[in-house]
Amino acid sequence: MSNLILSIENLYKSYGATEVLKDINVSIQRGEFLVLVGPSGCGKSTLLNCIAGLEEVNAGAINIGGRDMVGVAPKDRDIAMVFQSYALYPTMTVGKNITFGMKVRGVDAATQAKKLADVAKLLQIEPLLNRKPGQLSGGQRQRVAMGRALVREPQLFLFDEPLSNLDAKLRVEMRTEIKRLHSNLKASIVYVTHDQIEAMTLATRIVVMKDGIVQQIGTPSEIYNHPANMFVADFMGSPSMNLIPATVEALPTGLAIKIKQENGTLELMDDTKIKGLKMGAKRELLIGLRPENITNPTANSRLVAPCRIEVVEPAGSDTFITTSLGEKPITARLRADTVVSPGAEIDLAFNLASASYFDAGNGERLN
Which amino acid is it at 115? K
Query: Residue 71 interacts with another protein (CB under 8 A)?
Result: yes
- Distance between CA atoms of 181 and 173, rounded to whole angstroms? 12
- Distance between CA atoms of 177 and 200, rounded to whole angstroms? 15
Query: Residue 235 interacts with another protein (CB under 8 A)?
Result: no
Query: Residue 175 interacts with another protein (CB under 8 A)?
Result: no
- Distance between CA atoms of 148 and 19, rounded to whole angstroms? 33
Q: Which of 12, 14, 30, 87 binds another protein (CB under 8 A)?
A: 87
* Closest C-alpha among 52, 276, 253, 259 to residue 149: 52
Query: Residue 192 interacts with another protein (CB under 8 A)?
Result: no
Q: Which of 39, 60, 101, 245 binds another protein (CB under 8 A)?
A: 101
Pick 90 or 343: Cβ nearer another protein: 90
Pick 101 or 363: Cβ nearer another protein: 101
Tabulate helix, strand, coil % of the chain (nearest 5): 30, 35, 35
Rounded to 5°, angle at Cα 276 from 270 and 278: 125
Which of positions 22-61 make contact with another protein (CB under 8 A)? 49, 52-54
Q: Which of 3, 66, 68, 89 binds another protein (CB under 8 A)?
A: 89
Q: Which of 5, 6, 42, 80 binds another protein (CB under 8 A)?
A: 80
Residues 333-357: b if buried by 16+ CB within 10 A, e if exposed:
bbeeebebeeeeebebbbbbeebbb
Q: How many residues bind another protein (CB under 8 A)?
A: 27
Run of H or E residues at 221: helix 220-225
Query: Residue 75 interacts with another protein (CB under 8 A)?
Result: yes
Query: Residue 84 interacts with another protein (CB under 8 A)?
Result: yes
Pick 147 or 288: Cβ nearer another protein: 147
Partners of 258 in the β-ladder = 247, 267
Q: Which stretch binds another protein (CB under 8 A): 60-68, 86-94, 244-252, 349-357?
A: 86-94
Check: CB of residue 175 under 8 Å from CB of residue 148: no
Query: Residue 85 interacts with another protein (CB under 8 A)?
Result: yes
Task: Determine how β-strand 189-193 pairs with β-strand 33-37.
Answer: parallel
Beta carbons within 8 Å of 188's beta carbon, 6+ residues apart: 5, 6, 28, 29, 30, 31, 32, 33, 155, 156, 157
Q: Measured from the CB of residue 287, what is the shortest distance to another protein in angstroms?
A: 42
Pick 56 or 270: Cβ nearer another protein: 56
Query: Residue 105 interacts with another protein (CB under 8 A)?
Result: yes
Which of positions 130-159 make contact with another protein (CB under 8 A)? 148
Query: Residue 73 interacts with another protein (CB under 8 A)?
Result: yes
Angle between helices 109-123 and 138-150 (to 10 degrees): 130
Backbone angles phi, psi at 267, to 5 degrees: -115, 130
Q: Measured from the CB of residue 120, what is the shortest distance to another protein in angstroms?
A: 17
Q: Measured from the CB of residue 72, what is the shortest distance to another protein in angstroms?
A: 9
Query: Residue 69 interacts with another protein (CB under 8 A)?
Result: no
Q: Which stretch binds another protein (CB under 8 A): 90-98, 117-125, 283-291, 307-315?
A: 90-98
Residues that bind another protein (CB under 8 A): 49, 52-54, 71, 73-75, 79-81, 83-92, 100-101, 104-105, 148, 160
